[in-house]
Chains A and B, each alone.
Chain A
Amino acid sequence: MSQDLMNTLQQAFEQNVIDIENFKKAGRKAIGCYCLYSPVELIVAADAIPLPLCGTKNDPVSAAEEVLPRNLCPLIKSSYGFAALNTCPFFRFSDMIVADTTCDGKKKMFELMQQYKKVHVLQLPQNQNLTTSLAPWLAEVHTMKSEIEALTGVTITTERINNAIDLLNRERDAKKAVMDLARIKPSPIKGSELINILFKVGFLADKEKGIALMNTMVDHYTAKAERGESPYTNKTPRVLISGVPMGIGSDKVARILEESGASVVGFENCTGYKQVFTVAKTDDPMDVLARQYLSIPCSVMSPNQGRLDLLDDMIKKFNVDGVIDLTWQACHTYNVESFTVEKWLNTTHQLPMLHLETDYSDSDTEQLRVRIQAFLEML
């Protein structure tokens, strides 16, 4: 039963908090991360626990607004609010934070976050031109390595990094296999279930446990699909969500889509398919990591052709009828890029796109519902 698996996942998620406490008592360190750009391999290579910290809940936003401007992206406010209120166990566990200068709001917020935790900020280049950007970025990745070595007392050797690459490649493969379940038409899995799985597995300190769980999920849903079981039919509109990251608490658009009769088949964002890549194993893993992570197609990059390439790949694989481009309020880069993405989708794929700008609160649920239902009527 799918529900049994979701319960197992929930138990693993709850047990994980106890596991981390025990690991920490035994001397392991935990390192929090805010963006996909920080190479997690270096944390794993030092036997530390990586924790994804981007805030996805609305609760701490009002506390953050005591310090931060209201007109700021809710992800930044939620992240800062969790730190200020000390209500996120994973923030509390973190002995150090690794963050990146992805966008203006985040980098200035990290300055303020320093009062609560040591934050090591990587200066992320704003374009992916290797001639000019690789060297400075590689130097930043080296500073991250030194900081982790200083914190953990572990010397991060090439062998250690390559082992970490191995493990995380397997984790990424497992995530990909889970997300690829929705390539089946009709999909045996709901988009909201995908969010739930990806969100919770992300926190598991025991990566092997997460990988095993995801593999079980894949077997289960594949078998379901083979039996012809699906919450949808061949006529259900298949929608791809693109843009900003989503997690539990910031999933209202996926929820409304499903309530309105759509099948959410994929997420072109950094909590979804942007995580799908394979790091090559070589005798110079630092160089490989720097190149691989720099190539992540976030809208902070200019230009950002990689996002269109990723969308192209997903549209072909996932049999998409329409795209929702989601922007968190005051996220200028995704907001501006929306124009380019829509024009490209309309001309290259003759696909309609709906741009939605919203925050984590529920105050505009009905306004979103009208737009989403009208979009589905168009498909």
Chain B
Amino acid sequence: MRAAGIDIGSRSIELVILENSRIIEALKADTGFDPMAVAADLMKTARFDRIVATGYGRNLFEIAFEGETVTEIKAHARGAHYVFPDAETILDIGGQDSKVIRTNGIGKVIKFEMNDRCAAGTGKFLEIMARSLGFSIEDFGSAAMKTDAELPINSMCTVFAESEVTSLLARGENRLSIARGLHSSVVRRAMSMLKRVSDSGPVVFTGGVANNPCMVRYLEDLTGRDICVPEQPHMAGALGAALIAEESMR
């Protein structure tokens, strides 16, 4: 029996297929403007007996494919617990939102918090800032780590931060130091949310932003906690949904 999980996020869609609780396939595509078409395309070659959807597109998916749905909170908690069973705290920074989840040790959510309705402190923020500094999103983190000089960025709003970056560039500031300052501001914002939900123990860091090495390093330095990053941190939601699908087949 094969179970599938699909995470329809704002920036990307991930599909994970499990057989006997082992990942046999993990696919990813950009969400684009027609998420259901992208989802259908991803599922075209995949074989599975049951699928559970999560992410912002889950309700659309439920209507289009008659699949079951869970929230990304529950899915990330389950996915993170599968990879790091001892960690009870999850920080997920995705394309459009960020969240902190605390679980009770068997992967059940007992508390969570999400950021406000804007892109501040999310992958989208980093993406837009990388672009205004002329970096690709893949290189942004490693570029920021090339310098020790950090320019503080005060604006958390994506629009205001962009103008702040423009004026720093106009002053002739080094773009590496600006990049470092931007990473630091995202980490500080995530930390206040982290502290409200959980104040000790290892943290599983998931979502696309966990692929950014500068974010991971900063989180470790500033929290003093173990930051555990799964091999494919952006797959955590889809993995969790697949595990939930598998469970419901038993």
Contacts and interface: CB of A to CB of B under 8 A. Distances in A.
Interface of A: 352, 357, 363-364, 366-367, 369-371, 373-374, 377-378
Interface stretch (B22-30, B65-73, B126-134, B147-155): B65-73
Contacts of A367: 97, 114, 117
Contacts of B111: 352
Given A352-B110, A352-B111, A374 B73 contact: yes
A340 to B, nearest CB: 14
A322 to B, nearest CB: 12
Contact of A374 (B56, B71, B117): B71
Nearest to B74: A377
Contacts of A364: 117
Q: How large is the interface on B (under 10, 10 to 19, 20 to 34, 35 or more residues)?
A: 10 to 19
B140 interface: no
Nearest to A260: B71
B117 A363 contact: yes
Main secondary structure of the interface of B (DSSP, over half): mixed
Contacts of A371: 73, 112, 114
14 contacts: A357-B116, A367-B114, A370-B71, A370-B73, A370-B114, A371-B112, A371-B114, A374-B71, A374-B72, A374-B74, A374-B109, A377-B74, A377-B109, A378-B110
A374 B112 contact: yes
Contacts of A370: 56, 71-73, 114
B70 A377 contact: yes
Interface in B106-138: 108-112, 114, 116-117
B70 to A, nearest CB: 7
Given A377-B109, A378-B109, A366 B56 contact: yes
Most B CB contacts (10 A, CB to CB) among A366, A367, A374 go to A374
Nearest to A357: B116
Nearest to A370: B71
Interface in B69-101: 70-74, 97
Nearest to B71: A374
